[in-house]
Every structure is written in structure tokens, then in C-alpha cells.
């Protein structure tokens, strides 16, 4: 249990304040701005304007300035409902659909009359989206109230809020049947490397203004990893003349103190937002036993977003993220008794500037640069022979540098975007491995067919007295067997992965239909080269008067290899020591998604979908011994299908809730390429991304808005992941207690 205390520093966090019409997009978000006038055409000052999306939970309020102008920035692509209230005038309402980064400009004229009481969820169109791409939207107001583990961070928010996401250990998740093909787009910066807490450090959920979680066919602007796209818009300090923020401190079980502090402030032209978070705990990773043994850990994170609007057409922003984490690797009881003491540290630095320019009233140019570096070190036990199976060390860095630029053009029924991305990822991998179990590479087998644990055996010629030669014995690995007077393998290689992409896409409104068409060209130049032209197309239809939206989409995608330990996994510099050392090729995929969305009684929206993916070179990870060190593996092909479901109960009387669920079939086929000491199944197998059923229910209730008093409850059901090594009941009964727990 983790008890948290939240203290408001200054007022209430309010991102919409009266401002001049400088509404250009920031970091991939949209803008709605306009002018309020009376029946004579005169501008109206100090008029309250409300913007809501009841499904995502977004609700903002602003007032017009002396020129009658208002602006809402940092808006994710969604339908919104605008309400304008002014004394002596009729309440004005309008629905606005944000589908482009080009600012939407409104001129609103009020009529003389009596102000009416308006329910912001009284319109079915507010509940339904016509976007053909299956996705889930969640606002900071919902994220802030979700009960999550302090060390789990954004990954747990994604797991709890997204249909089709399968939970795994240590906050890791499998998106829509795949292992980890997830792309984070943070203020338009693409991040496609692993973001679980055993690989990197994420920004705090406190820094997130909104998230769009795309689980369907990704639009053409997204590539590289596209099973799940997490489009994040971070918080900004613009338009907050009085600095506002919050602080929360907690203490939980396993001696876990936590702290989060964030503050933002600024004028119409300059703003800054900063977030600090950290924790220390005696249970950082999920332990293999019910008791947490050798499981201490900590993390600290700083995020800052700085915005400048020098004029009405240009804007700049700079994101800075610096984080560090360190943790012990948890033990089983046997490992604890043997004195095993392994440890890992991760340091992350990310710098991402961005620039936008409004050209006329219909065009927006955006450019984002980025430099991101992860440095991971893994240290073995002081006594190498205390480590179970093998003594392993690692010191690797991953440095990603690139630029993304595009032009958005909005006119009539079209929202066109074309652009491209250029990036380079430098890999530096240092690794050592020494075997500490004499049975791993024993030259001889016992009469029972098990590897002999006699460390004196060095050759198959010594197999006597009931011992027979082991056909799997590899004499090339003998020098690295510490039980047989060997020394650790020492490996160090560097490489650079270069990628280029160009894309064009258009969102088209045609009567009751909405079309999304796009084309993407990817070129991958790493340990191998590959180029693929990828069409993406989707359509949704909303029959009038039904409260129903039907959708269908198809996408061709290229899934690139994981960069974590890619060089070693591909056998670079090993001269076939661990097998043939085949280079991992990018995956090529066909994907379809069909779905239906139904609004009921203006308070509930249902969304159900079916997905089917066929991939050549389906990616997975191979875990080394009991460590968090992994190596990418490409299986020959994969077949993935299933269904997803989402039910949203929009807020009514302070109560709101959402329910997500999924069923996933994930069947992979050997042979496999890559990995380290990989044991491939004999035939097709269900991989550990396969799950019969999972669901999450989240309920929130606001007791008092003036006091900010609320309560939230979340629970999740997982039917369990498939264990590929357990093929029968006999295999399951043969597992030891430690193996079952692990």
C-alpha cells in the first residue's frame, strides 16, 4: 500500500488563460483560438469559454482578453465541445474536431437572450470519434487519479488504459500481440527504443498533459515500431501568469518513500514547466519469490519544457529530460544463500528542440531535433561463482540523433500532412560472460541423459564409467567455463544504425464517411539494409441518427530490429562462437483492423475491434539466465489476431469509469535468428505475448470540486501468459518451486 499526500502550491492547474491569438501548434498538438463578439460586432471581454471532451476527461476553461480573443493550446487530436456563457446572452455551443496541427480559428457571435444551464455531455457527437484509427485518449485529469505503482510510471498507465496491451513483469507490456514494438512520440519526438524500467528511464506521468494510445493501424507518419503508438503532449507553462503546480509525497510498503513536484508558469510569449520525481524502495523489480530478496532500487527524474512565442507565427520549445536509476537484481532463496549480488544502473539524457511556423491561415511547418542517450551498466556478484549459471557484466550505450520535419495543410474537408525523418543510432556494446554451472557445457552425459556436473571433464574422450559423449558440447565455449579454470569472454563492438523515412497522409471528410489515406517509404541501413513502400488506408462511416461509427483499416509496415544488444545478438565480431551469427532483418507486416463504436444515452460509449497481423521476421527477446539482459530474436514469421474492447462511462454526478479488455492469439514459427544461447522450439508455438483474456476497470469519483477531494479504484485481471517451455502437464509438474515462482 502506498499512501500519498498532494498539496496545491498555487491555485488550480489551468492551462487555458486569456491570450492573444498566437495559437500555433506545439509538439504535435492542436490549437483552437477565436474571437467572441456581440450582435453589433463588438468584441466581448472577460467572457467564459469552456472546452470539453468527456471521454478523455479533458475540461478547460478560459476567458477572453480585452480584444475578445481566447485560445486553447496543447490539444490532442479529438472532437471537442465549446460552450460560451455571458450574462444577458444565450449560451453558445459548437462542436470542433481537431485533426491537424494547423490552428483552428473561430469567430463566434453571441445572441441576446437568457443564459441556459448546459450539460456538457448532452451531445452524442461528443462521445464518438470518426477517426478510422483505433485508439484511446486519456487526459492528465484522468492520469493524475489513476492508482499506479510509483516505480511503474507511464508504462502502467498505458497498460491500464489501453485495450490489447498484455502486462508482463517489471512494468513491461506486450502491445497487441507483439513483444515490444512500441513507439513513443513525445512532443513530436519519435522514441522507438525500449522504455521499460530495466532498459531506460521515462518521463514522469506528472509531466504528461495528454496521451493518445494508437492500437490500430498507425497513420503513415509513424514507422519503425508501430504495434502501439503512444502520442504524448507534455505540459506547458504558457499562459500561466501565476505559477501553478503540485507536490505529492508518499510512503508505502517495502520501505518506499516517493516524491513528485511540478510547477509551471509564464506569459503569452514565454513559459516553462518543470517536473521532479524520485523514489527509493526495497522492492524495485518483481521478485521470483513472495519475499523480496536483494531487491533495493531507486530512481530520480527531471523534466523541463521551455516555450517561446516571439510573434504570432513562430514558436520554439525545448524539452530536457535527465534521469538516473539503480537497482539490485532480485534473488530466489537459493541464489540468496549462494551470495548472488547483481546490480544495474541506467543513466538517461534527452534534449529535444522544436520549431513551428504558421504560413497563412492553412499551413503549418514543424521541425523537431533530438539527441537521446541511454547508458546502462550491469555488474555481477563480487564472487563470480556466486552467480547462478553464469557471471555476466555489461556496459552499453545507445545514442539516438535525428530530425523530424513536416508540413500540415488544412483546407475544406482535407487535412494533409507530408514530411520525413532522418536519424542515426550509435551502439556501443561491452559484455563479459563466464559460465558458473559445470552442466551448461559439459562434455559428457550421465546414464540418465543429463549433463554431468563433474568439472574435471574437459573433453568427450574422458566420458567413461557410464558417461557418454554430449552431442551438444561446444569446445569453443570451454575457455569461458569458470568451473573448468576458464576466464570470461570479453566482447566490445560499436555500430551505427541509420534510418530515413518520408510520408504523406490525408484525413478526408466526405459526408458520413471519413477517410485516412497515407503512404510511407522507410529505408533501414544498419547491419543490413531494407527499403519498403507502405500504404496505409482507413475508412469510417457514421450513419445519421444511429450513434454508431463503423471503421476498417489496412496497413503495410516495416518493423525494425531492437537496438538493445543488437550487435552481439547478430554475432558481430564473434566469428560464429554462438552459432551462425545471422544478421537480423527488419520485419514486413500486413495488418487489418475492423471496429465499431456505439454511443448510448449520451453517457456511455462502447468500442470493439478485431485485429489481424501477419509478419515475416516476427520479433522477440531472448533473456540471458535470470538477468534483465536481453537479446533480440527474429522468428521466421508470426500470426497474431484477437479482439479488443473499451467501455467509457463519462462523468455524471462526479462519477466516471472506463473498462478495457482484450483477447490475443500470438503464434510464432521457427527457425529463429539472433539471441544468445537460444533454444528454439521444434515447431509453431504460442509465445508469451499470447493471452486468453485480460481486462482493467478504473472507477473515479469526485466528492468536492472546490476542495479537490476524489477517490479512485482500479483492478486488473490477467488470465496468464503462455510459458513457451511448458508444453505439457508433465513439464509443469516437473518445475521446481523456484521455477514456478520465477
Read off the pLDDT of residues 271-323 as tens digits, 9 standing for 90 and up: 999 999 999 999 999 998 999 999 999 999 999 999 999 998 899 999 999 99
Q: How confident is the model at residue 4 (pLDDT cuts 50, 70, 90)?
A: very low
Neighbouring residues of 715: CB distance < 8 A, sequence distance ≥ 6 = 696, 697
Domain final position from 454, 480, 506: 480
Q: Are residues 560 and 472 in the same domain?
A: no
* Continuous segment of H or E residues that includes residue 96: strand 92-97
Q: Are residues 393 and 246 in the same domain?
A: yes
Q: Are residues 329 and 271 in the same domain?
A: yes
In tens, the pLDDT along 646-705 reads 999 988 888 999 999 999 999 999 988 888 777 778 889 998 888 899 999 999 998 887
| pLDDT score at 742 | 45
Domain final position from 126, 148, 166: 126
* Continuous segment of H or E residues that includes residue 738: helix 737-741
Q: Are residues 463 and 521 in the same domain?
A: no
Q: Coil, strand or helix: which one is 65? A: coil
Contact 179, 168 (CB under 8 A): no
* Domain membership flag for residue 172: no
Cα torsion through 694, 699, 700, 703, rounded to 10 = -160
* Domain membership flag for residue 138: no
Q: Are residues 311 and 332 in the same domain?
A: yes
The model's pTM: 0.88
* Domain membership flag for residue 159: no
In tens, the pLDDT along 231-255 reads 999 999 988 888 988 898 999 899 9
* CATH number of the domain to which 651 belongs: 2.40.170.20
Q: Are residues 476 and 521 in the same domain?
A: no
Q: Are residues 471 and 562 in the same domain?
A: no
In tens, the pLDDT along 95-131 reads 888 877 788 888 888 888 765 554 444 455 557 888 9
Tally of domains in the chain: 3
Alpha carbon 387 to chain centroid, angstroms: 33
The winner for highest mean pLDDT among 80-84, 328-332, 631-635, 650-654 is 328-332
* CATH number of the domain to which 65 belongs: 2.60.40.10
Distance CA 70, CA 72 (A): 7
Contact 123, 602 (CB under 8 A): yes
In tens, the pLDDT along 495-554 reads 999 999 999 999 999 999 999 999 999 999 999 999 999 999 999 999 998 889 999 999
| pLDDT score at 2 | 41
Domain that holds residue 470: 444-480
* Percent of the chain whose pLDDT exceeds 70: 91
* Domain membership flag for residue 201: yes
* Domain membership flag for residue 679: yes
Q: Write out the three cell numbers for 155.
A: 508504462
Q: Write out the three cell numbers for 738.
A: 523456484
Q: Are residues 340 and 461 in the same domain?
A: no
Instruction: Look at 59 and 274; give whichever has higher pLDDT.
Output: 274
In tens, the pLDDT along 134-192 reads 999 998 888 888 888 877 788 999 999 999 898 888 888 999 989 889 999 999 999 99
Give me the sign of the Cα torsion angle 568, 573, 579, 581.
positive
* Continuous segment of H or E residues that includes residue 572: none
Give me the sign of the Cα torsion angle 385, 386, 388, 394.
negative
- Residue 127 pairs with which residues in a beta bridge? none
Q: How confident is the model at residue 21 (pLDDT cuts 50, 70, 90)?
A: very low
Distance CA 486, CA 493 (A): 22
| pLDDT score at 124 | 53
* Domain membership flag for residue 350: yes
- Single out the residue of 227, 142, 143, 222 nearest to residue 188, CA to CA: 222
Q: How confident is the model at residue 583 (pLDDT cuts 50, 70, 90)?
A: confident
Residue 583: φ, ψ to 5°: -75, 140
| pLDDT score at 592 | 97
Instruction: Look at 9 and 94; give whichever has higher pLDDT.
Output: 94
Which stretch of 427-436, 483-492, 597-606 has the lowest confidence by average pLDDT? 597-606
* Domain membership flag for residue 308: yes
* Domain membership flag for residue 426: yes
Q: Are residues 597 and 515 in the same domain?
A: yes
Instruction: Report whether pLDDT(340) > 50.
Output: yes
Instruction: Look at 1 and 128; give whichever has higher pLDDT.
Output: 128
Q: Are residues 457 and 575 in the same domain?
A: no
Average pLDDT, the chain: 87
| pLDDT score at 308 | 95
Distance CA 446, CA 448 (A): 5
Instruction: Report whether pLDDT(263) > 90.
Output: yes
Q: Are residues 414 and 462 in the same domain?
A: no
| pLDDT score at 87 | 82
Cα torsion through 81, 86, 90, 96, rounded to 10 = -20
| pLDDT score at 23 | 43
Domain final position from 74, 92, 126: 126
Q: Write out the three cell numbers for 310.
A: 516571439
Distance CA 299, CA 347 (A): 10
Distance CA 688, CA 154 (A): 22
Distance CA 554, CA 614 (A): 12
Q: How confident is the model at residue 428 (pLDDT cuts 50, 70, 90)?
A: very high
Distance CA 84, CA 94 (A): 9
Q: Are residues 356 and 261 in the same domain?
A: yes
Instruction: Report whether pLDDT(13) > 50.
Output: no
Amino acid at each position: 500500500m502506498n499512501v500519498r499526500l498532494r498539496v496545491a502550491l498555487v491555485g488550480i492547474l489551468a492551462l487555458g488563460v486569456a491570450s492573444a491569438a498566437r495559437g500555433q501548434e506545439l509538439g504535435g498538438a492542436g490549437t483552437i483560438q477565436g474571437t467572441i463578439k456581440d450582435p453589433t460586432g463588438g468584441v466581448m471581454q472577460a467572457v467564459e469559454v469552456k472546452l470539453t471532451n468527456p471521454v478523455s476527461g479533458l475540461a478547460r476553461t478560459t476567458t477572453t482578453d480585452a480584444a475578445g480573443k481566447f485560445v486553447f493550446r496543447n490539444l490532442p487530436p479529438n472532437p471537442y465541445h465549446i460552450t460560451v456563457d455571458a450574462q444577458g446572452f444565450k449560451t453558445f455551443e459548437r462542436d470542433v474536431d481537431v485533426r491537424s496541427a494547423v490552428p483552428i480559428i473561430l469567430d463566434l457571435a453571441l445572441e441576446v437572450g437568457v443564459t441556459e444551464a448546459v450539460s456538457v455531455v448532452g451531445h452524442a457527437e461528443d462521445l464518438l470519434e470518426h477517426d478510422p484509427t483505433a485508439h484511446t485518449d486519456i487526459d492528465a485529469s484522468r492520469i493524475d487519479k489513476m492508482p499506479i505503482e510509483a516505480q511503474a510510471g507511464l508504462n502502467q498507465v498505458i497498460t491500464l488504459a489501453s485495450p490489447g496491451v498484455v502486462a508482463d513483469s517489471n512494468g513491461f507490456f506486450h502491445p497487441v500481440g507483439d513483444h515490444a514494438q512500441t513507439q513513443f512520440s513525445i512532443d513530436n519526438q519519435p522514441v522507438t527504443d525500449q522504455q521499460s524500467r530495466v532498459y531506460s528511464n521515462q518521463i514522469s506521468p506528472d509531466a504528461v498533459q495528454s496521451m493518445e494510445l494508437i492500437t490500430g493501424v498507425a497513420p503513415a507518419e509513424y514507422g519503425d515500431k508501430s504495434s502501439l503508438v503512444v502520442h504524448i503532449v507534455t505540459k506547458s507553462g504558457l499562459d500561466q501568469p501565476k505559477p501553478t503546480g503540485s507536490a505529492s509525497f508518499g510512503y508505502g510498503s517495502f520501505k518506499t518513500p516517493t516524491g513528485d513536484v511540478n510547477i509551471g508558469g509564464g506569459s503569452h510569449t514565454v513559459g516553462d514547466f518543470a517536473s521532479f520525481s524520485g523514489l527509493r524502495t526495497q522492492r524495485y523489480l518483481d521478485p521470483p519469490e513472495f519475499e523480496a530478496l536483494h531487491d533495493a532500487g531507486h530512481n530520480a527524474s527531471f523534466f523541463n519544457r521551455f516555450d517561446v512565442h516571439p510573434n504570432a507565427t513562430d514558436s520554439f520549445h525545448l524539452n530536457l529530460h535527465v534521469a538516473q536509476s539503480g537497482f539490485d537484481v532480485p534473488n530466489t532463496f537459493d541464489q540468496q544463500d549462494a551470495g548472488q549480488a547483481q546490480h544495474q544502473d541506467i543513466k538517461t539524457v534527452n534534449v529535444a528542440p522544436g520549431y513551428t511556423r504558421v504560413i497563412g491561415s492553412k499551413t503549418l511547418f514543424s521541425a523537431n531535433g533530438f539527441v537521446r542517450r541511454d547508458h546502462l551498466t550491469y555488474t555481477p556478484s563480487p564472487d563470480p561463482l556466486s552467480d547462478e549459471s553464469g557471471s555476466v557484466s555489461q556496459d552499453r550505450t545507445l545514442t539516438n540523433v535525428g530530425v523530424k520535419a513536416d508540413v500540415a495543410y488544412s483546407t475544406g474537408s482535407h487535412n494533409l500532412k507530408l514530411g520525413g525523418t532522418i536519424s542515426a543510432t550509435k551502439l556501443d556494446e561491452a559484455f563479459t560472460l563466464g559460465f558458473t554451472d559445470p552442466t551448461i557445457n559439459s562434455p559428457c552425459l550421465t546414464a540418465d541423459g543429463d549433463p554431468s556436473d563433474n568439472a574435471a571433464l574437459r573433453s568427450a574422450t574422458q566420458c567413461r564409467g557410464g558417461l557418454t559423449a554430449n552431442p551438444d558440447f561446444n569446445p569453443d565455449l570451454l575457455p569461458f567455463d569458470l568451473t573448468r579454470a576458464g576466464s570470461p569472454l570479453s566482447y566490445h563492438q560499436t555500430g551505427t544504425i541509420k534510418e530515413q523515412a518520408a510520408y504523406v497522409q490525408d484525413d478526408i471528410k466526405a459526408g458520413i464517411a471519413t477517410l485516412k489515406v497515407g503512404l510511407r517509404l522507410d529505408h533501414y541501413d544498419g547491419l543490413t539494409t531494407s527499403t519498403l513502400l507502405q500504404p496505409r488506408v482507413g475508412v469510417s462511416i457514421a450513419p445519421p441518427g444511429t450513434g454508431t461509427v463503423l471503421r476498417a483499416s489496412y496497413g503495410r509496415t516495416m518493423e525494425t530490429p531492437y537496438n538493445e544488444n543488437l550487435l552481439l545478438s547478430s554475432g558481430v565480431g564473434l566469428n560464429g562462437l554462438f552459432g551462425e551469427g545471422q544478421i537480423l532483418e527488419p520485419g514486413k507486416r500486413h495488418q487489418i483492423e475492423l471496429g465499431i463504436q456505439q454511443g448510448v444515452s449520451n453517457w456511455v460509449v462502447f468500442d470493439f475491434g478485431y485485429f489481424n497481423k501477419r509478419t515475416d521476421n516476427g520479433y522477440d527477446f531472448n533473456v540471458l539466465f535470470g538477468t534483465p539482459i536481453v537479446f533480440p530474436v527474429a522468428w521466421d514469421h508470426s500470426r497474431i489476431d484477437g479482439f479488443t474492447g473499451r467501455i467509457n462511462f463519462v462523468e455524471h454526478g462526479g462519477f466516471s469509469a472506463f473498462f478495457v479488455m482484450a483477447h490475443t492469439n500470438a503464434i510464432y514459427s521457427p527457425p529463429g535468428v539472433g539471441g544468445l544461447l537460444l533454444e528454439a522450439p521444434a515447431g509453431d508455438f504460442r509465445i508469451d505475448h499470447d493471452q486468453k483474456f485480460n481486462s482493467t476497470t478504473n472507477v473515479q469519483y469526485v466528492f468536492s470540486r472546490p476542495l479537490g477531494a476524489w477517490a479512485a479504484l482500479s483492478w486488473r485481471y490477467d488470465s496468464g501468459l503462455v510459458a513457451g517451455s511448458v508444453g505439457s502437464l508433465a513439464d509443469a509438474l516437473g518445475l521446481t518451486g523456484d521455477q514456478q515462482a520465477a
